Amino acid sequence: MLDSARDSGLSRNGNFLVFKHPLDDPGNLDKIGNHRVLVANKPNEIASKITSETKTIMIAGISHFTKDSGIAELIDAIIRSNRQIIATGLNLASDGKPYGSMPEIMALADEIIVAKALCNQANCDSEANRSLKIKNKFEPRCAYHHKYTDGRPISIDRNGSLEIFAGPMFSSKSTSLEKAIKRYEIKQSPYIIFKWNKDKRYRGEINTITLHSGQRIQAYPINSYSEITDILSNKKNTQVVMIDEAQFIDGLYSLIYDLIPQGYKIICTGLPRGFNRKPFADFPKLMCLADDIKYKNGICVECHDPATENQRMKKINGSVISAHYSDPLIAVGGSDTNNVEYFYEARCLDHWKLDGEPKLRFELPSINNKH
């Protein structure tokens, strides 16, 4: 990409800025390949270089920025100023847990590409998106050989995986789940579907997932990961697990972390960020575990551009207003005990509103053109 940027002239006038964290390839401190870049270990060092001419920012090793550094707030400010940001980083640390600030960063992304290597375990030709630290060196490993470091060679079709359909409401995530169901029906592979037990949209029954088209899919209603464990214990031959609206399920991250090395193929749909543009529970952590992430967009109700945001609205005594920053993260569509009716719309960022939102930590000069 940097070769293409240089050849096309994007580096002129400071309109394309490239940064790297000093922990990213420290032996080649101010270079990425043959390209000389800026080095920054604090977000404000990046913000200070952004001018009205800057349209695209690339940050290598973004996962090395700590959670409390404000890197997620800087990314949000860059996006809201109509600029494009491209970032690379480690999704998982060597212990298999999310690396640093990556969940918060993934929650803000509108496209994610999961890069993979090949597992370095002997006789394993599976794809690897985990790293194992051995004698101060890192080796790529598949999920199975990351957990079972001396495990036997296994075939690719027995390798566990996590596939995620992410995006705002009204972006056809559940429709994508329906297509996955048909895929495994053709293969004649047993599967099981779970859903949050409080989701009754479109007057659906508690044991069905109702698509926006009105079609219903049978599913087990659950509230926490322990219920999944209990049901799977009685379905020994079922290795395909699908979970709709996974952001609502308590404790799901730790369960899926354990299921993948056991050979389960898991498919989740969910919201990376809530109505407040903040991470939605543990779903961004699940994205760090994923082998494949497909980001879906809706259609903005205001301008018909691609919609990336969940716009919560509330109807109080006949008046409709946008959500407030202090509102609870979870509010199911319909009336609550305070006689407030909630409903949601798909919006682009330009038409997304959040009353009472605190001032952003970083202020950047806005540019007019959309990315």
- Active-site residues, by number, are 245
Q: Which residues pair with 312 in a beta bridge?
A: 344
Neighbours of 39 (CB within 10 A): 14
Tokens linked to 149: 């470091």
What are the backbone dihedrals phi and psi of residue 49, each rounded to the nearest 5 degrees, phi first?
Answer: -90, -10
Tokens linked to 70: 């404000």
Burial 172-207 (b: 16+ CB within 10 A, else e): bbbebbbebbeebeeeeeebbbbbbbebbbeebeee
Q: Which residues pair with 191 in a beta bridge?
A: 240
Chain Cα centroid distance, residue 133: 25
Among 80, 96, 85, smallest CA distance to 62 is for 85
Sign of the alpha-carbon dihedral angle for 212, 218, 224, 228: negative
For tokens 């779970």, the residue is 194
Rounded CA separation 80/90 (Å): 24
Q: What is the dihedral of CA 148, 152, 158, 162, to 10 degrees?
A: 20
